[in-house]
Each structure stands twice: as C-alpha cells, then as structure tokens.
Structure 1
Amino acid sequence: MAATVLCASDMPQADVLTLGARHTGLRGAHAADRMLFLQSDASGTQPFPQSDLARDLGALAHTVEAAAGTRSRLAPALDAALLDEALLLHCRDAMPKCLGLAQSHAIAFVLGQGQAFPANLDAPDGMVFELLRSLDAPISLKGDVGGVAVVTADNWSASAEAVGVVARSAALAQLCASAIEKSITRPAGELSPEVVWDVLGAGARVASALRAAGHLRGAVLTFRGRGRVIGPLEGDRLLRFGVSNWR
C-alpha cells in the first residue's frame, strides 16, 4: 500500500515523488523482515531480523514490553517505522514547515514552529488524523517531530474498540497502542457502566506506565461508548472515536 503525503500541495511535485519513492524502496528492502515479524506476531516466537532498522525496532519493542507488561505486534510497527525513516531521510535534504506521511493507521509528521495541520487534508485514516489534530497547543506552537497511531481490535467484543497513541515516532506510537490494546479484555457478564470504566482503567494504567517511562506523550482508549484520555489530548475533538463520555 502506497503512503499518502500530507500537505503535499506545499511541496514541489518532484519532492513529493521522491518521498513516495523512498518509502516504496524501504518497503521493498524490508519485505523479508516484515514477513518474519508477521510470523512472530502469529506464533509468539522471537524473530531474528536482518536489517539494522528492524533490529532496532525489536529492541524498542522490548523496552515497551518491559513498561507495559504486554508484547506489541511487530509487523504493523515496522510499517510505521518505515514512515519514520522515509520522512527522516527527506528532512535531511530540507526541513519542511508542515509535512506528514500516512499509511493505514499511522502517521509520521513534522511540524515547524507555529504550524498546524489544516482540517481538510485527505488522510487515509480519519481516526488517526483526528488524533493528530487534537494535540494541545504546545505541539503546534513550538514545533515537533513525531508520530501517531491507532489500533482497533480484531474482535471488538473482546477488547478495547480503539486505542490511539501520540509518541515521538510513528513506530513507537504503534508499539504502545498495540501493547495497550492487548492489555484490555472484556470481562464475563453484564457490561454495566462501572464495569466498562474498570475495563478502561486497566488500559489507562498501562498507558500511564508507558507515559511515565517516556514512551508516549498521550493516549486515548475507547470501549462501549466511553473513553479515557492520558496526556495533553482533547477527547471532545475525537468525534470519529464514537465516545459520548470521556474521563
């Protein structure tokens, strides 16, 4: 799947094409490691990737697991890491004022001082872009480089419906979101409001531990129309998350 360049209209077309080609080249170069990670995610075994980028990602995943107590999925984190790497290579040539590289449920971004993403961008995942634009003022005022990711459960009846994370990179956001999502399980019996809040509380504790360890800046968790916010995010701006009651 090709990545989408956000704020492409502010760039020369040649730069947009170069950025896209870099990302495509990185995906091809890391295809074997992605297959290893897919197998590892399915079996729970320890992978032995070939590339430095994939090995660094594996080491980062271990630090996230140590803080969260839950293992993250590696294949989607590698996809996010390739967004980070392509954007990093692009910024070595010229630092943009506002630029994002989006694919599936992740965005790697760069924001210059005083910049903000416009509301009308055509991002491939509306939930992820909404999370990016919900960041509090300090991000847009001082400028930043980072990433956002959203994980939605394979089986919404058994886990959190959505977990979104803002971190210093898209790869780290994806690792943290995956770890938080896997820490939340639906209890047996009736899902009263108190039970739903208790379920979200378990995920919020993991998110808080990851934030205390410096792995994430902010997170949102949703379950059965209710949501928890950790860090400088505005839940009321996250309309696509389907939450009527935030804490």
Structure 2
Amino acid sequence: MFQFQDVSIQLSTHAEGQKLQDQAWFGGLPEFLEGLTGDWQSDEELLSARGVDALPRGLLGRAVAEAARNVHQALRVTDPSSLPAIADSYRGALVDLLMEQVPDDVPVLVKVGDVARFRLVGDSTLDQLGADEAALLFEAVRGLEVPIHAGAVGVGGARCEDFTDGVADAIALVGGAAASTAYGLKVLHTQMSAASQGFDGTDVDQIWFLLSRGVKTLSMLQAGGLVRAGALSLRGRGRLVGPLSGDHMLRFGVSDWR
C-alpha cells in the first residue's frame, strides 16, 4: 500500500516465491511518487482553472489533461463548462503512471479508490491479484463475454464506496487506460444527473430515459475507442453497452437489463 497525498494506492502482483518488496523495480516506486507530488500541487490548480487548455508542468498533470482531451474529442465537446473539472480524475492517471513502472512480464493490479488497472500474465488470475476484495469494481470485468488479460475499470454511483455522486445507482466502465476511464465515468454521471431534474425515483419511463441518456454518452466513448464496455443501473433497471452479460453482474441490483 502506498500513499499519494491523502489517497491510498493498492498495488499487488503475483510471482511464485518472490515477495513484492524483493522485486528490483519496486524499490523505485516511493521516489517516483514523491517526484509526482511537487508538480501536481501547482498543476492541479492550473487544470481546475483552465481545463484542457492548460499546459501542466508535471507528468501527472499532463496525463490528466491528455485523458480529458481524448474524452472531449470522443464526445465532440464544444463547451466543457458543464462538464466536471478534469483535475478530479487524477486518480486514474496516477494508476496509469504506476502501471508503467511495472515490467511488462509482471502480473499486476493497481487500484486507487474506485478505479483500477490490471495485467494478467500466463496463468495469473484477478483473484490472485486481490480483485476479490473489490467485488463491485471488477463485476463488469467478470461479466465480459470474452475475457481480457489487461485493461482498466471504474465504477461510481450510490452502491460504490468512493465515487457516490450522481443519480445512478451504479455505473461501470471497462476501458484500456484508467485516466480516460475515470474521467469518462465522471462525465457520464454528470450528464445523467443534469437530465434528472424532478426525478423522484418512481417514474419508470423517466428511469429508462435517464439510462438511455447515459447509454448515448457511453456509446460515444466506445466509438471513440476509450471504452470497451459499460453498464448502468438505476432503480432495478439497467442498460448494457458492449460485450457484457447482465447474468454475471448481480451486485448491480438489476432485475431488468436491456
């Protein structure tokens, strides 16, 4: 477990007979994280003020800005003023940068809050990397009709531990990079919530309308190559995009998937 400012980072690997702290690359991670901290303090303010137009100095700030630009491009955003601040999604960028420090032949899972990225090698499994301790987060990965050996996943909504904003009970995105997955998730929540004025949780037609609003955004992220699949749930109803099976996603509390 590492710490970045007030954020806890879970990093786990699986190697027969070799402890994590004994692996050669592991010793440089604390120094790497310390190097990110100084620039991020100033870059965070810059990104909050100028968004994708900012020119961050540090590695983390540049990764955050690049991910947001990719999401904006996929969604054809012309006015970002209604979207969440891009600096809020730095946890995903932090996950990506840490993954780059781990050798390609090492199975690894890096998790910060409700966003994670993993890589399986050989016969390694998600459970060996500790994914069973974050069951809801990895529900969508396990629900994929075609298994993947590497990717990123993020969840948000009332059923989640960390990111509980928005009208949805749960939203999950499975993508390639954690930074764009995390920011895409926040944009999705924001757009669904913006359409939910007057929603009391009982109008079935409005439930499906809000889910359809989310699917529109999710489908654009998928078409832009940022998301492989995604799931949205609200009051027992749910929508799926991409090769996902609702039968394997019981923790989303959905009785009617479409």
Fold-level similarity (TM above 0.5): yes
Which residue of 207, 213, 237 maps to 1:202?
Answer: 213
Quote the Cα distance in structure 1 between the aligned partners of 2:144 and 2:226.
17
* Equivalent position of 1:187 in the other structure: 197
8 Å CA contact 1:6, 1:123 repeated in 2: no
Q: Residues 1-247 of structure 1 correspond to what in structure 2 (within 5 A)?
A: 1-8=7-14, 10=16, 12-15=18-21, 22-32=28-38, 34-35=40-41, 39=45, 45-46=50-51, 47-68=54-75, 69=77, 71-92=83-104, 95-96=105-106, 98-112=107-121, 116-118=125-127, 121=130, 125-139=134-148, 144-152=149-157, 159-185=167-193, 186-188=196-198, 190=200, 191-247=202-258
1:182 and 1:206 map into 2 onto residues whose CA distance is 11
CA distance 1:124–1:102, shift in 2 (3 Å):
farther
Q: Is the 8 A contact 2:43 2:58 kept in 1?
A: no
3-state SS, counterpart of residue 49 of structure 1: coil
- Secondary structure, in 3 states, of the residue corresponding to 1:89? coil
Distance 1:32 1:167, change over 3 A: same
State which drifts further: 25-34 or 51-60.
25-34
Identity score, percent? 24
Measured after TM superposition, the shift of residue 76 of structure 1 is: 4.7
Give the aligned CA root-mean-square deviation in angstroms: 3.1
> 2-side partners of 1:125 and 1:201: how far apart?
27
Q: Which moved more, 1:118-127 or 1:168-177?
A: 118-127
Q: Deviations over 1:16-50 (max 9, x none)?
A: 77666655444432334544565578x66435422
1:128 Cα offset (Å): 0.9
Describe the superposition over 1:59-90 as per-residue Cα deviations: whole angstroms up to 9, x where unpaired: 22022023234635434532222222222221
For residues 217 and 185 of structure 2, the distance between their equivalents in structure 1, rounded to whole angstroms, comes to: 10
Q: Which runs of 5+ in 1 are unaligned?
A: none
**Greater shift in the superposed pair: 2-11 or 171-180:** 2-11
* Structure 1 length-normalised TM: 0.79
- Paired with 2:120 and 2:177, the residues of 1 have a C-alpha distance of 13
1:103–1:52 distance in 2 versus 1, CA, 3 Å: closer
In structure 2, the CA distance between the partners of 1:120 and 1:53, relative to structure 1 (3 Å rule), is closer
SS across alignment from 2:137: helix
Question: Cα offset for 1:162?
Answer: 2.2
Secondary structure (helix, strand or coil) at the match of 2:138 reads: helix
CA distance in 2 between counterparts of 1:25 and 1:220 reads 37
- 2:4 aligned partner: none
Counterpart-to-counterpart distance in 2, 1:19 and 1:224: 46
- Give, in whole Å, the separation in 2 of the partners of 1:122 and 1:145: 13
User: For the structure 1 residues 36 and 165, does the alpha-carbon distance in structure 2 shift closer, same or farther, using more than 3 Å as the test?
Assistant: farther
CA-CA distance at 1:209 after TM superposition: 0.8
CA contact (8 A) 1:72 1:178 kept: yes
Asked if 2 retains the 8 angstrom alpha-carbon contact of 1:26 and 1:82, the reply is no
